[in-house]
Structure 1
């Protein structure tokens, strides 16, 4: 039996889960009420769904957010941005998003652009769009104290900044030196902050990256180089007070929800300003409910092998906790990975819900083509696989929007009765059917993989493996071990340089036969708008099942008003015999299909024109 507990208290808290006493769960908070919810499963998936019904679910993201994303602190001028994006297209390595870190700003002031470094930001972003890149800019909450700066002037005029206990405005230092912080507890401040994003949307910016939003800052800093800051001292955060001046709330209560309130302001501001487009956000901090607005990344990690492995535990826990769009800095933010480490990290990173490489200032370049030809080709292959899996992945993000269930799943979610899965954190499921076991050890020659009971296939391989045991898989640097649960139906798109470069045509469907009937619900829409809420979407259920002397594939009639472009279906059935015939059954009509059979790979391939209406394909074998 599985159950969950949600302790809804925003004060600083301590959780002791059996450390002091193995038989006790201990919790304490520095203030506030003891509000908790008991969520009965009885399965782990039902616990997650129950929790999501309380705190909310992640909105369906724009399709481009599921592509690969490239970032660094900082691509500090237009030339650097153009150079890095040109390399992706030169080497045909898929990428959808390029980030602008703090150096795009004028003196680190939010809602500004430095026109010496970026003379024509609107023209640049327009050019990037034409090349298939979306632009995401960083926005910190700290507002520079500078009379004449419009954000500061507006905030002062309307009393929109956080005060201290003495009645003045709370001051700390961040990148622009002395700053004030917006008081997001006030609804009118959230409204104002959201409206300020018109500055970015007018330039063509596509997404917002909220950083330093715990909030974070320091007392003073030393700047030995123009772009290098060495901070020191911790601001007296508990001197902050929020909300109504005559009846303020202490920062001890608001600290953990500050980023949630900022995300609320930003998301709803973007949606109001551009109601035809789904907003995309990424946040460093948050509180339960953040998933209603934003994705999350795990913050400033380090390039070492311990964190290559630890990242998987962090992300699996985030996904169990409702943060279904989460990721970590591929390659590590601090320090420089070697070529082997970066190759291993990007192999697992293409299976992060949020897949982004990021590194710090004054570090070497960190991207798929900075570690030599071998790693470039490994990176290309891994990223291309992410793009091929878009139909599968996008369908699971719709499921996450409907239910709260993540696509990146701890083993125990799929096999809750198998106690061996409870402590496994270095392999995971991508959806229900794909098991990913990335290599997380240096100089590895083999990879141990635990397969729960049942039958399994290696990725795009006819060989069946009996589960309920651990296997040892030989690996070299190019190896990313992927297994598929028998019964899987995996939809695949063509390889593309960015998610909207071409339609999912032909749509490939890979079948891995099992012993029972199994189905997959393919979800499609325009990938950008909210029209799916009005029925402009298409859900199509594909099923497979063994029958006497044969195998049956069924496509149910699609539900919804979205119509994909005309396309071909390319079906592959792995691990099958050479059939005696293959028949297509539609509307009472029956016709034989031409097919190809590869006896060496034991794969059956056939093609037919796609249609919204349903059909059956009967594969017959010699008795």
Structure 2
């Protein structure tokens, strides 16, 4: 969205906001010399006479708070491993020569592939998927990797795909809807949720600022969850029914998702 000079169009502001959600730091700046250059979403909407700038910004600000547990846990991982948070695809798939010159896609953490939309009026873009399987973040469609795909990207979304066989932590409200409002507290999650995508092929560890730790494993088709610390409950989310061992207090289905409430005994 820039810093100084004339403001961008509402569409380009929206596109920059969408990418910023999937960056280590989501931050907007404005030159203070001219109030008309203010990069706030309400000024962008008013100056462009396009209320979508504010409406879509609000949805993505909510989404940012939804994925905060993922961002924090991945930040711990990359800090300990000495790896980047925003990763060129070739970093994790070095043997795929088709990735050597791809500069407009990246991995955000280990499990989210992001392909920003940067051109005004663009509603479709070509993206390359590395090996493996990739699940559309927005609708759950599965794609095979090592090929290019044409991705439809209306103004309300950019291409984001989840690496199959991974776990994505979320902070969700009681509707368990991605994009739902959860406030702006960074030290207290409304509902700590874990979306299991595919199978758990290797152990997954989640940590937070308070010293809490959650371990996920899968053995003989059964998912085991170990909670240490003061977390009293978590929720596990999946598009399919799961076989969970242990402390399942409740099972519900919302928006075609299976939601399991796990209590810490």
TM class by smaller structure: 0.7 to 0.9
| Equivalent-residue separation in structure 2 for 1:349 and 1:585 (angstroms) | 38
Q: Give 2:237's aligned residue.
A: 572
Deviation at 1:460, TM superposition (A): 4.8
Deviation at 1:594, TM superposition (A): 4.5
Deviation at 1:604, TM superposition (A): 2.1
| Equivalent-residue separation in structure 2 for 1:513 and 1:395 (angstroms) | 20
Deviation at 1:557, TM superposition (A): 4.8
Q: Give 1:510's aligned residue.
A: 195
Contact 2:133–2:164 under 8 Å retained in 1: yes
| Equivalent-residue separation in structure 1 for 2:8 and 2:68 (angstroms) | 28
| Equivalent-residue separation in structure 1 for 2:87 and 2:105 (angstroms) | 9
Q: Give 1:358's aligned residue.
A: 29
Contact 1:584–1:593 under 8 Å retained in 2: no
- Give CA-to-partner distance per residue, 1:229-272, whole Å, 9 cap, x none: xxxxxxxxxxxxxxxxxxxxxxxxxxxxxxxxxxxxxxxxxxxx
Q: Give 2:177's aligned residue.
A: none
Max Rg structure = 1
Contact 1:448–1:473 under 8 Å retained in 2: yes
Deviation at 1:472, TM superposition (A): 0.8
So what's the TM-score if we normalise by structure 1? 0.38
Give unpaired runs (5+ residues) of structure 1: 1-329, 527-536, 587-591, 614-623
| Equivalent-residue separation in structure 1 for 2:67 and 2:250 (angstroms) | 26
Contact 1:426–1:437 under 8 Å retained in 2: yes
| Equivalent-residue separation in structure 2 for 1:438 and 1:584 (angstroms) | 39
Task: Tell me the number of residue pairs that the alignment of Structure 1 and Structure 2 aligns.
Answer: 250
Distance change (3 Å), C-alpha of 1:366 and 1:467: same
**SS at the partner of 1:378?**
helix
So what's the TM-score if we normalise by structure 2? 0.84
Distance change (3 Å), C-alpha of 1:410 and 1:490: same
1:391 aligns with 2:69: yes
**SS at the partner of 2:238?**
strand
Q: Give 1:563's aligned residue.
A: 230
Contact 2:205–2:216 under 8 Å retained in 1: yes
- Give CA-to-partner distance per residue, 1:334-384, whole Å, 9 cap, x none: 332111111111111122212211122224221122232211111111121
After superposition, residues 193-232 of structure 1 pair within 5 angstroms as none
Q: Give 1:543's aligned residue.
A: 217
Greater share of strand residues, 1 or 2? 2
Whose RCO is larger (CA < 8 A, sep 6+)? 2
Q: Give 1:370's aligned residue.
A: 43
**SS at the partner of 1:497?**
coil
Q: Give 1:608's aligned residue.
A: 262
| Equivalent-residue separation in structure 2 for 1:428 and 1:583 (angstroms) | 33
| Equivalent-residue separation in structure 2 for 1:426 and 1:479 (angstroms) | 16
**SS at the partner of 2:148?**
strand
Contact 1:583–1:593 under 8 Å retained in 2: no
Q: Give 2:222's aligned residue.
A: 552
Contact 1:331–1:345 under 8 Å retained in 2: no
Q: Give 1:464's aligned residue.
A: 142
Deviation at 1:571, TM superposition (A): 1.2
Contact 2:223–2:245 under 8 Å retained in 1: no
Q: Give 1:138's aligned residue.
A: none
Q: Give 2:246's aligned residue.
A: 585
Contact 1:513–1:544 under 8 Å retained in 2: no
- Give CA-to-partner distance per residue, 1:99-123, whole Å, 9 cap, x none: xxxxxxxxxxxxxxxxxxxxxxxxx
- Give CA-to-partner distance per residue, 1:510-549, whole Å, 9 cap, x none: 01014x61333211124xxxxxxxxxx233222346x4xx
| Equivalent-residue separation in structure 2 for 1:505 and 1:417 (angstroms) | 41
- Give CA-to-partner distance per residue, 1:144-189, whole Å, 9 cap, x none: xxxxxxxxxxxxxxxxxxxxxxxxxxxxxxxxxxxxxxxxxxxxxx
